[in-house]
Amino acid sequence: MTETQDGAELCFPQLFNTSCRKLTPPWFEVMFIHILLSSISLLTVALNLLIIISVSHFRQLHTPTNILLLSLAVSDLLVGLVLMPAESIRNTTCWFLGDIVCSLYNYLSVIITVASIGTIVLISVDRYVAICDPLHYNIRITVNRVKLCVYLCWLYCVSYSFLCVKDDLTQPGRYNSCYGECVLVVDYVLKAVDLVLSFIVPFTVIIALYLRIFAVAVCQARAMRSHITAVTLQHSVTPKAKKSELKAARNLGVLVVVFLICFCPYYGLLIAGDDWVSASSSFVVYLFYLNSCLNPVIYAFFYPWFRKAVKLIVTLQILQPGSSETNML
């Protein structure tokens, strides 16, 4: 970079009149940010890769709920592999990757974000049926149906994201005011539509379903504590099975709560109309992406099968013949 008279530096000195100028923070601050974000990015990729390998490899883990967790792990993996490094570059230095890569980054960021939200909605529906209508759960929620829902969810995300950023894709860099910048500008109408479809509607559904799940779970817990099992035995659902479903709902409830904590500030800024280049906005975006690293940590705390799968993967026991049939539960 070349320093100008006002203390700023040019991203592209050969383009003095059209190059972006960026005031760079102290080198130790830049190094700290890069090391921190790189570490989180690598950890996010590694942990979610373990989730993907676990659910894909071990046949006993091919359940409807785990298929949804697999979809969430794929979106989280892409966050650590693509979005975190690109966001680090965009917020600490000039954008040297070109307008086309910038457009693709914007496109992928919308796809991954919407896919994460859509998968959380599907997880909430899965738990709702399991807790509120357990007798028909195995009939209504099957592996093939869940796979179809996941495919449709990702197809919707790809199509919806294209509509959001099609102008940027067809004319890369059209919103950049100078060379060395990567921004995405969305008009007010599209922003309002996106706010409704990507935040208000799905988050309302998630909260409503989990409030209902919580109410039913409390009633079931009281029934089990009071040893009221007559209805349970009559419908061939054992208290142990109910306890298992309640535990699963609790575990996934923690996942959803952490998701809401990380995502709500991001959309709060959209509602407030905050500037994307502000410091508060950058922090919120990093918090938004941090959720992808926290999800596998939640699995490690609450799911014994994940800890067992990690041990088998790390020790390379999954390479042995018949390892996919290992008892994981």
Q: How confident is the model over 220-270, as pLDDT tens digits?
A: 666 666 655 554 445 544 454 455 656 666 777 787 788 888 888 877 776
> Mean pLDDT across the stretch 204-215?
86
Q: How big, in percent rounded to 5, are the helix, strand and coil portions of the chain?
A: 75, 0, 20
- Residue 3, helix vs strand vs coil: strand
pLDDT at 151 over 60: yes
| Residue range 30-57, pLDDT digits in tens | 777 778 888 899 999 999 999 999 999 9
| pLDDT in the model for residue 64 | 93
pLDDT at 322 over 90: no
Task: Specify the range with the lowest mean pLDDT, choosing from 85-89, 118-122, 222-226, 312-316.
Answer: 222-226
Q: What is the mean pLDDT of the chain?
A: 80
**Residue 301's closest CA among 312, 289, 310?**
310
> Mean pLDDT across the stretch 170-191?
79
| pLDDT in the model for residue 71 | 94
Hey, how many other C-beta atoms are within 10 angstroms of the C-beta on 2?
A: 13
pLDDT at 146 over 90: yes
Give the whole-number percent of the chain exceeding pLDDT 90: 26
Q: Let me know the angle formed at the C-alpha of 104 by 98 and 105, rounded to the nearest 5 degrees.
A: 85
Domain positions in the chain are: 2-325
Q: What are the strands of the beta sheet with 9-10, ordered from one edge?
A: 2-3, 9-10, 21-22
| pLDDT in the model for residue 276 | 44
| pLDDT in the model for residue 170 | 84
CATH class of 2-325: mainly alpha
What is the spatial distance between Cα 41 and Cα 84, in angstroms, rounded to a whole number? Answer: 6
Name the band, by pLDDT with cuts 50, 70 and 90, for residue 182: confident
What is the spatial distance between Cα 11 and Cα 30, in angstroms, rounded to a whole number? Answer: 16
| pLDDT in the model for residue 275 | 47
Task: Specify the range with the lowest mean pLDDT, choosing from 120-134, 152-166, 229-243.
Answer: 229-243
Question: What region does 8 belong to: left with phi over 0, alpha with psi -120 to 50, or beta?
Answer: beta
Name the band, by pLDDT with cuts 50, 70 and 90, for residue 141: very high
pLDDT at 309 over 70: yes
What is the spatial distance between Cα 65 and Cα 252, in angstroms, rounded to a whole number? Answer: 10
Per the listing, tokens 């390379």 go with 316
| pLDDT in the model for residue 224 | 63
Name the band, by pLDDT with cuts 50, 70 and 90, for residue 61: very high
Name the band, by pLDDT with cuts 50, 70 and 90, for residue 273: low
